[in-house]
Amino acid sequence: MALSQRQQLLQQQKLSPQQIQMIKLLELPAAMLEQRIKQEIEQNIVLEEDHSETEGEEPKEISMDEYLKADDTPSYKTRLNHYSKDDRPRNFQISGGRSLQESLIEQLGFKNLNDIERQLTEFIVGSIDSDGYLRRDLQSLSDDIAFTLGIEVTTDELERLLDIIQHLEPMGVGARDLRESLLLQLSGQTLDTPAKQLAYDILKNHFEEFVKKHYERMLSRMGVTEEEFRAAVQEIQHLSPKPGNLFAEDSDSAPYIIPDFILDYRDGVFDLQLNSYNIPELKINRHYMDVIRQMQGKSDSRMSEQEREAVQFVKSKIDAAKWFMSAIKQRHDTLMRTMQTILDYQQEYFKDGDRSHLKPMILKDIADLTGLDVSTISRVANSKYVQTSFGIILLKSLFSEAMQTTSGEEVSSYEIKNLLEKCIEQENKRHPLTDEQLMNILNDKGYCIARRTVAKYREMLGIPVARLRKEI
């Protein structure tokens, strides 16, 4: 084949490194933004926190003349001036409790175990998950112990050691499944009432039927009355399906939500603020500006190679610092612009938090009103929270599809979900409403909705199917 050359004109869209960083900054929630700013301060030697109380200028076009004309580095505050001088970031000390494994190992210290048994029991404890269950079979544990600890142990021996662990606190820990965990919890109590004895019998001999809620069949087989059966079910409901959660709830690993916006509503007026507590204020270190001024007085011929490199290095760092400060401010402006538009769009909802007042709203609606791209609105709404008088709300949860009624009116899907919840709350628990019956009820109320949509909304609300909602 003969080699040939040709010209081709293509139009491609490429993002610059600065645009990519701007996108990443826009996606960050408040907690991670603080970490990102501190990381930038560590990486850029000319950037530092501004502890002064005066508001600086907004960064302008980056140029050498600007550095030399300014008496001081132009700076701006990365948080809005919504707070008084006396306000200071409030640091909350979170005390970390013991983990489940630490508690179990401590309790094992009071057991009469030899060195090998102690190693084996600690290995088993290490295999228990945060819910308190041992998800792995004993044969796999035996193989891992032989490979890791070099100890040959039979499954029977592991069963004996596991029985010791299962009698530690909290009761039910170390079980292989839900049935075993509930039985362990009941066994740890004194079965001194007919209700507890019947509950133990249900879990031991009729667990599958109980889970599937075949209550009529169980009543006929066990020969008990509805009152006795109901009392036994109440005893079972008092047990914990995840015994390990008693430790997980108190641990310092639980996520804490820091709202990105603070919204107050008083006397018919909304006050929207950007939550900027703990967000450092930035400025450029004056020392490096002095370095630039001193070097500028010299001609290139009088500067050594090392001095020229130093000037170029400082210039690049100052450019990066000014761009980063501008990017932070642009992020704040974009967040406030988007949130203000959402507030204007959903004013009736933000007055009292009634979800039935939520208007149908998709990303494109807000994008059209703000003049921003849909992808930008998506990044703002994702992982961002607003603190209101009725709770902390995820922005993404405010977006919903529009559905049309028989009268032609458009309503939010949240309105249908609320109605669906009310129908299920008011149903006869002995004969729960099926998805088909729920569909008919909604259709009679003027909401054109299919059965599969009812099933989808029911699952989104975390409501089980009719058979599993049945009560005796």
And the tokens for 323?
């761009």
pTM over 0.75: no
- Bridge-based pairing of strands 385-388 and 261-266 is parallel
Task: Tell me the angle at which helices 100-108 and 115-126 cross, rounded to the nearest 10 degrees.
Answer: 160
pLDDT at 248: 55
Q: What whole-number distance in Å separates Cα of residue 350 and Cα of residue 393?
A: 10
Task: Tell me the angle at which helices 17-27 and 305-345 cross, rounded to the nearest 10 degrees.
Answer: 40
DSSP 404: E
Burial class (CB in 10 A: 0-12, 13-18, 19+), 93: exposed
pLDDT at 33: 84
Tell me if 423 sits within 8 A of 449, measured CB to CB: no
| Helix, coil or strand: residue 291 | helix
Cα–Cα distances in angstroms (integers) from residue 470 to residues 120, 401, 424, 450, in the given order: 44, 31, 11, 23
| Tens digits of pLDDT across the chain (472 residues) | 678 788 878 776 666 666 777 788 888 887 788 888 888 888 888 888 876 654 444 444 444 454 444 444 444 443 444 444 444 444 444 444 578 888 899 999 888 999 999 999 999 999 999 889 999 999 999 999 999 889 999 999 999 999 999 999 889 999 999 999 999 999 888 888 999 999 999 999 999 988 888 888 888 888 889 899 989 998 998 898 888 887 654 444 445 778 889 999 888 899 998 887 777 788 888 887 777 777 666 666 666 777 778 778 888 888 888 888 888 888 889 999 999 999 999 998 898 888 778 888 888 889 999 998 888 888 888 888 999 988 888 888 888 776 767 766 667 777 788 888 888 888 888 888 888 888 888 888 888 888 888 888 888 888 888 887 877 7
Helix (H) or strand (E) holding 284: strand 282-284
Residue ranges matching CATH 1.10.10.60 in the chain: 401-469
Burial class (CB in 10 A: 0-12, 13-18, 19+), 471: exposed
How far separated are the first and last CA of the chain, in Å rounded? Answer: 83
Instruction: Identify residue 303 by its one-letter amino acid code.
Output: M
pLDDT at 92: 40
Q: What are phi and psi of 462, to 5 degrees?
A: 75, 30
pLDDT at 254: 46
CATH code reported for the domain at 401-469: 1.10.10.60
pLDDT at 31: 77
pLDDT at 119: 92
Instruction: Identify residue 210 by its one-letter amino acid code.
Output: F
pLDDT at 80: 41
